[in-house]
């Protein structure tokens, strides 16, 4: 089923690339859901087995950045509703699937292009020196505006007896696929 979803998505991408008279190279891991198929305008290149954590930019920091932004929004939500709930389970019910989708979209939108460039550089796709050109290391205005709130959130997490890094990485070792 998952491989069929991947093929359907790949077909749509191929049609789009064909209509735009473009060709792309797509790096994918060796997941069984990624069948080795040939398309006219999309070429698949498979990463060597057991190298995903070293060669995949998403695993080099992009996913972690999205999770961090998402968890900040979740924590804001919890703190906003904490006085209105009598217990933890009631507080948990205040989060719904739509909230999670909106927060995930917002978290992705907050990932700065320089973060993505740095993760690609870390995996060897671009020269590291090319990443910092054009002031890419400067914080965007939207992140500067959120700095005071982030400092406040971090102090709340610290008051709970943990660090922001531990909170953001709480599921780092969680198994998400069957081996």
Q: How far apart are CA 42 and CA 45, in angstroms?
A: 10
pLDDT band for position 141 (cuts 50, 70, 90) = very low
Give the per-residue pLDDT at 81.
Answer: 82
Helix, strand and coil in the chain, % to nearest 5: 60, 5, 35
Q: What is the DSSP string of 15-26?
A: HHHHHTT--EEE
Percent of the residues in the chain that have a pLDDT greater than 70, as a whole number: 78
Domain segments of the chain as ranges: 2-46, 54-168
**Residue range 165-177: mean pLDDT, rounded:** 70
Position with higher pLDDT, 88 vs 138 = 88
User: Would the pLDDT of 131 be above 60?
Assistant: no
Give the per-residue pLDDT at 135.
Answer: 42
pLDDT tens digit string along 16-73?
999 999 999 998 888 888 888 899 999 998 888 888 778 888 888 899 889 988 988 8
pLDDT band for position 176 (cuts 50, 70, 90) = low
């Amino acid at each position: 089923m998952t491989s069929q979803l991947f093929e359907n998505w790949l077909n749509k991408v191929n049609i789009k690339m064909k209509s735009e008279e473009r060709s792309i190279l797509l790096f994918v891991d060796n997941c069984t859901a990624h069948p080795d198929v040939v398309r006219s305008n999309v070429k698949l290149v498979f990463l060597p087995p057991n190298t995903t954590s070293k060669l995949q930019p998403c695993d080099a920091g992009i996913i972690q950045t999205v999770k961090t932004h998402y968890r900040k929004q979740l924590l804001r939500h919890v703190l906003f509703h904490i006085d209105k709930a009598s217990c933890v389970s009631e507080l948990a019910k205040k989060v719904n699937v739509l909230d999670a989708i909106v927060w995930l979209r917002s978290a992705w939108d907050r990932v700065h292009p320089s973060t993505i460039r740095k993760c690609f550089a870390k995996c060897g796709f671009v020269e590291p020196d090319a990443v910092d050109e054009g002031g890419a290391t400067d914080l965007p205005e939207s992140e500067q505006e959120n700095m005071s709130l982030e400092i406040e959130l971090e102090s709340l997490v610290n008051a709970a007896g943990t660090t922001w890094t531990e909170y953001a990485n709480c599921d780092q070792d969680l198994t998400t696929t069957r081996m």
